[in-house]
């Protein structure tokens, strides 16, 4: 009896082991890792999008993992080295094209770009998704222009609002200096040039580049030009400006928090995602209820060039054609189909194309006053230079350069040392 | 049947030996897989120019990574910072732990337990949680330290504790100190409780003072514990990483880089694996030498 029982038990176990194989269907499982790109960092929002995708494509199952900017790169790098990279990743060309793509880990998805895409997607965005050899490592979904923000009530209290053009959301360098002067009389912490590292660098770069119309790289995106006369002049202005403090103890996220708390009067790390944030108060208000106004970075000629944020999907080459095909299906569904409007709205950013599958994407936020107002900044979108080689190394060195300058180091020497290092990394 | 000198048959001895090795096998497997093999790979890779990249080829460069290390100002700064942390933290942690343990060991057992719990709390609390709280306290804009110092009239302007190279490393040492004393205190309380009381009583009968009893009787008996604490605290101080990563990322201007953080920075930010591994080997050698010296000193004073 005992033997019979043991035999039956063994059979059940063998059957149980074999069952998944015996009944396995052709479902392809893929993983998507996403950085917190607006609502794409929120599991409730993404679950809805993925469920809709899986309903349309029953042969594909998508598992999503969420990365943070603080340590996301480390996690991806570790996964790559451990041969456990995700199948799909969502981020911008500076990571997908200039870093992991350039290092050979991504699948060339140039075949996803059909003629309609080339017509519908903004040329500056399309260019950022390809490398010099014509390989594409990113298929874009959404974009925004990064800007800065000011606490309007504080500006009004000291009469500094006269320097803000609230209609066009622009101001000049002279306006900025005058406003800081008035604000600093009331608050020693008008603004912080945050330089603790880990993200938000677009804010400090755009601030410095715009003040005297400098550039961060050359037009061909082959070498760094942050030590140009214009940039050095801008850095010297900021170092000497009472009320603007270089702070190596805070990162971009801290700066946003300090601005919302009313400690700082301005924030340099801002975009529509932050403007729509309503965690502690209604969107567009600080925690204390002061009005937040998005502004372009001040420039000497009054014509700003804002740093762009482009986000989309890339595929890691994990050696499985089935997974690559499934990943491509996912990308096309999210970024080039009737479902694209929802995928873009989930990001809280703007579409990179005017239409998708005959659905008009140019006006998906109709009726949303904040989005409509923010869209005034989009025409100021400047060159997307973040695809210059050696970007990851240069980005790390950028913080260190600001820390040194804030600590009293010679501006010209430090900026020169930065460019020497960054250009060596770029092979320029 | 042949018998061994202990009276056991050779077959039995062989069987027991095999059984012994079999029992060792699981831990040996993990030790080789997760300690010996990575250590070997670390030494091996340190001889190559090894970078991230699917098609990147590791180029054998001999000892060039090591040569570069000793010309790298940032590495030398990180090494200096690490040594400062070790030199300051290790003696203070040991001395403070011994003082606290001596003070609480003769108290009512409930009080002793309460103090042990209090001092051990930072050890069992997650390092991230502890660091976040310290970060708030050090905050330049709303931190409690600036609030108190300004309130007391000791400072006029807020101090950017973690953003000023003059203070940042010392701020980290203070946190390291508070998170490092818990375990030594518990160990010292236990060691002091195990001191042979007959020797203590005999010394007291012979007229020894409390200080003499401590240094002549107790100190000798707790020496193995002291040795263990010294070695462990030294290694922990050398490997200080999480605090740096969470608080300063090595800044401002590399003033709080430690060797461990710079290894991470080199490997994960600059993707130079070979160079990072060379630093790891140097750190391993330094820790091994210091630990050997500590063991030697501990043995000679037994």
DSSP secondary structure string for all residues of A24-62: --SPEEEEEEE---GGGG-HHHHHHHHHHHHHH-TTEEE
Residue A69 in domain: yes
- pLDDT in the model for residue B301: 57
- Give the 3-state secondary structure of residue A121: strand
With an 8 Å Cβ cutoff, are B253 and A400 in contact?
Answer: yes
Residue A251 in domain: yes
> Is the CB of residue B141 less than 8 Å away from at least one CB of chain A?
yes
**Is residue B71 classed exposed, middle or buried when 0-12, 13-18 and 19+ CB atoms within 10 A define those classes?**
exposed
Distances (CA, A) of B197 to B122, B138, B220, B226: 32, 46, 13, 19
> Cβ contacts of residue A395 below 8 Å, gap of 6+?
A94, A201
Q: Are residues A345 and A277 in the same domain?
A: no
Condensed to tens digits (0 to 9), the pLDDT of residues B246-258 reads 999 998 989 999 9
Helices (H), B46-154: 64-69, 73-105, 109-124, 127-138, 144-151
- pLDDT in the model for residue A427: 83
- Per CB-CB distance under 8 Å, the chain A contacts of B252 are 195, 248-249, 403, 406-407
With an 8 Å Cβ cutoff, are B251 and A74 in contact?
Answer: no
Q: What count of other Cβ atoms lies within 10 Å of the Cβ of residue A282?
A: 8
- pLDDT in the model for residue A212: 97
Is the pLDDT assigned to residue B113 strictly greater than 70? yes
Q: What is the rounded CA–CA span in Å between residue A419 and residue A384?
A: 18
Q: Are residues A312 and A296 in the same domain?
A: no
Q: What is the rounded CA–CA span in Å between residue A332 and residue B166?
A: 53
Residue A107 in domain: yes
Residue A239 in domain: yes
- pLDDT in the model for residue B52: 87
Q: What count of other Cβ atoms lies within 10 Å of the Cβ of residue A65?
A: 13
Distances (CA, A) of A27 to A23, A54, A322, B65: 11, 11, 10, 48
- Per CB-CB distance under 8 Å, the chain A contacts of B141 are 189, 258, 263
- Per CB-CB distance under 8 Å, the chain B contacts of A81 are 52
- Tokens of residue A118, six digits: 């080339």
Candidate from B54, B139, B270 with C-beta closest to A103: B54
- Per CB-CB distance under 8 Å, the chain B contacts of A261 are 142
Q: What fold, for B64-300? A: MetI-like fold (1.10.3720)
Q: What is the rounded CA–CA span in Å between residue A238 and residue A173?
A: 11
Give the residue from chain B lying closest to A414, CA to CA. Answer: B253
Q: What is the rounded CA–CA span in Å between residue B21 and residue B15?
A: 10
With an 8 Å Cβ cutoff, are A263 and B142 in contact?
Answer: yes
- Interface size A-B, in CB pairs within 8 Å, comes to 75
The nearest CA of chain B is from the CA of A358 a distance in Å of 39
- Which residue is it, tokens 């990365």? A67
- pLDDT in the model for residue A247: 95
Q: Give yes or no for a contact between A169 and A275, defined as CB atoms under 8 angstroms apart.
A: no
Q: Give yes or no for a contact between B230 and B282, defined as CB atoms under 8 angstroms apart.
A: no
Which among A340, A335, A315 has a CA at the least distance from the CA of A326?
A315
Q: Are residues A288 and A249 in the same domain?
A: yes
With an 8 Å Cβ cutoff, are B165 and A407 in contact?
Answer: yes
Angle between helices A340-347 and A43-56 (to 10 degrees): 170
- Per CB-CB distance under 8 Å, the chain B contacts of A196 are 163, 248-249, 251
- How much of chain B exceeds pLDDT 90, in percent? 74
Polymer length of chain B:
302
Residue A19 in domain: no
Q: Give yes or no for a contact between A139 and A335, defined as CB atoms under 8 angstroms apart.
A: yes
- Which residue is it, tokens 């306290």? B137
Condensed to tens digits (0 to 9), the pLDDT of residues B180-214 reads 999 999 999 999 999 999 999 999 999 999 899 99
Q: Give yes or no for a contact between A287 and A362, defined as CB atoms under 8 angstroms apart.
A: no
Total domain count, chain A: 2
Q: Are residues A301 and A315 in the same domain?
A: no
**Residue ranges, chain A, pLDDT below 50:** 17, 19-23
Q: What HEC string does A159-175 produce? A: CHHHHCECCCCECEHHH
- Tokens of residue B196, six digits: 């042979």
Q: Give yes or no for a contact between A146 and A201, defined as CB atoms under 8 angstroms apart.
A: no
- pLDDT in the model for residue A358: 82
Q: Are residues A238 and A333 in the same domain?
A: no
Give the residue from chain B lying closest to A188, CA to CA. Answer: B157
What's the domain range around A88? Answer: 29-144+308-376
Q: Is the pTM of this model over 0.95?
A: no
Is the pLDDT assigned to residue B71 strictly greater than 70? yes
Q: What is the rounded CA–CA span in Å between residue B47 and residue B275?
A: 8
**Is residue B104 classed exposed, middle or buried when 0-12, 13-18 and 19+ CB atoms within 10 A define those classes?**
buried
Q: Give yes or no for a contact between B298 and B223, defined as CB atoms under 8 angstroms apart.
A: yes
* CATH number of A372's domain: 3.40.190.10
Please name every residue paired with B51 in a beta bridge, in sequence order, or none if there are none: B272
Give the residue from chain A lying closest to B157, CA to CA. Answer: A188
- pLDDT in the model for residue A21: 47
Q: Are residues A178 and A214 in the same domain?
A: yes
The H or E element that residue A191 is part of is strand A191-194
The nearest CA of chain B is from the CA of A154 a distance in Å of 18
With an 8 Å Cβ cutoff, are B253 and A407 in contact?
Answer: yes
Polymer length of chain A:
428
Q: Considering just the CA atoms, what is the radius of gyration of chain B in Å?
A: 25
Q: Are residues A78 and A105 in the same domain?
A: yes
Which among B119, B113, B98 has a CA at the least distance from the CA of B223?
B98
> Cβ contacts of residue B28 below 8 Å, gap of 6+?
none
Mutate to test the interface with A, among B252, B257, B270, B277 (most CBs of A within 10 A): B252
Candidate from A247, A396, A404 with C-beta closest to B269: A396
Q: Give yes or no for a contact between A361 and A344, defined as CB atoms under 8 angstroms apart.
A: yes
- pLDDT in the model for residue B56: 84
With an 8 Å Cβ cutoff, are A249 and B160 in contact?
Answer: yes
- Residue B252 preceded by cis peptide, ω within 30: yes
Q: Are residues A108 and A203 in the same domain?
A: no
- pLDDT in the model for residue A23: 45
Q: Are residues A327 and A419 in the same domain?
A: no
> Is the CB of residue B23 less than 8 Å away from at least one CB of chain A?
no
> Is the CB of residue B248 less than 8 Å away from at least one CB of chain A?
yes
């Amino acid at each position: 009896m005992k033997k019979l029982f043991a035999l039956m038990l063994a059979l059940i176990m063998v059957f149980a082991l074999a069952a998944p194989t015996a009944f396995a269907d052709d479902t392809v499982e893929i993983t998507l890792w996403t950085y917190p790109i607006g609502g794409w960092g929120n599991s409730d929002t993404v679950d809805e999008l993925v469920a809709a995708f899986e309903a349309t494509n029953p042969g594909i199952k998508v598992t999503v993992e969420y990365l943070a900017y603080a340590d996301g790169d480390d996690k991806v790098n570790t996964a790559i080295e451990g041969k456990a990279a995700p199948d799909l990743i969502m981020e911008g060309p500076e990571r997908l094209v200039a870093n992991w793509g350039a290092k050979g880990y991504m699948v060339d998805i140039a075949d996803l770009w059909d003629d309609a895409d080339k017509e519908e997607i903004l040329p500056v965005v399309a260019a950022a998704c390809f490398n010099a050899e014509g390989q594409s490592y990113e298929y874009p979904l959404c974009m925004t222009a990064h800007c800065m923000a000011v606490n309007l009530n504080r500006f009004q209290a000291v009469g500094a609002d006269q320097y803000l053009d609230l209609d066009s959301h622009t101001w000049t360098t002279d306006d900025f200096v005058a406003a800081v002067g008035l604000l600093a009389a009331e608050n020693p912490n008008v603004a912080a040039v945050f330089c603790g590292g880990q993200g938000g660098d677009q804010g400090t770069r755009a601030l410095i580049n715009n003040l005297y119309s400098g550039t961060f790289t050359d037009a061909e995106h082959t070498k760094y030009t942050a030590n140009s006369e214009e940039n050095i002049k801008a850095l010297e202005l900021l170092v000497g400006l009472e009320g603007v403090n270089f702070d190596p103890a805070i990162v971009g996220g801290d700066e946003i928090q300090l601005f919302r708390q009313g400690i700082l009067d301005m924030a340099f790390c801002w975009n529509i995602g932050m403007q729509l944030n309503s965690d502690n108060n209604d969107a567009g208000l600080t925690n204390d209820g002061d009005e937040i106004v998005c502004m372009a970075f001040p420039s000497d000629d009054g014509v700003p060039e804002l740093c762009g944020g482009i986000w989309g999907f890339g595929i890691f080459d994990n050696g499985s054609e089935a997974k690559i095909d499934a990943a491509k299906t996912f990308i096309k569904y999210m970024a080039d189909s009737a479902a694209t409007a929802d995928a873009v709205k989930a990001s809280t950013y703007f579409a990179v194309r005017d239409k998708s599958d005959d659905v008009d994407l140019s006006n998906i936020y109709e009726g949303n006053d904040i989005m409509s107002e923010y869209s005034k900044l989009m025409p100021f979108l400047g060159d997307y230079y973040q695809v210059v080689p050696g970007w990851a190394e240069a980005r790390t060195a950028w913080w260190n350069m600001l820390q040194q300058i804030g600590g009293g180091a010679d501006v010209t020497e430090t900026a020169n040392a930065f460019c020497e290092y960054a250009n060596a990394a770029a092979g320029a | 049947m042949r018998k061994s000198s202990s009276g056991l048959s050779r077959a039995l001895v062989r069987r027991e030996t095999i059984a012994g090795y079999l029992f060792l096998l699981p831990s040996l497997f993990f030790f080789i897989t997760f300690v010996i093999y990575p250590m070997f790979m670390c030494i091996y890779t340190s001889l190559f120019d090894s970078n991230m990249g699917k098609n990147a080829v590791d180029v054998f460069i001999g000892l060039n990574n090591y040569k570069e290390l000793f010309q790298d100002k940032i590495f030398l700064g990180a090494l200096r910072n690490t040594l400062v942390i070790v030199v300051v933290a290790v003696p203070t942690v040991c001395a403070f732990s011994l003082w606290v343990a001596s003070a609480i060991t003769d108290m009512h057992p409930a009080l002793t337990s309460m103090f042990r719990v209090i001092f051990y709390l930072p050890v069992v609390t997650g390092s991230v949680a502890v660091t976040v709280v310290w970060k708030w306290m050090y905050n330049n804009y709303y931190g409690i330290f600036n609030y108190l110092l300004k309130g007391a009239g000791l400072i006029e302007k807020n101090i950017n504790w973690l953003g000023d190279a003059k203070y940042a490393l010392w701020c980290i040492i203070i946190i390291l100190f508070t998170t490092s004393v818990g375990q030594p205190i518990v160990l010292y309380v236990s060691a002091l409780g195990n001191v042979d009381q007959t020797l203590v009583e005999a010394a007291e009968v012979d007229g020894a003072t409390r200080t003499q009893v401590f240094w002549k009787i107790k100190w000798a008996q707790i020496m193995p514990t002291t040795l263990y604490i010294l070695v462990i605290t030294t290694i922990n101080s050398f490997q200080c990483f999480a605090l740096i990563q969470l608080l300063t990322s090595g800044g401002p201007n590399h003033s709080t880089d430690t060797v461990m953080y710079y290894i991470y920075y080199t490997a994960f930010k600059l993707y130079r694996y070979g160079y990072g591994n060379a630093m790891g080997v140097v750190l391993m050698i330094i820790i091994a030498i210091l630990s050997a010296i500590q063991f030697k000193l501990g043995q000679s004073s037994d």
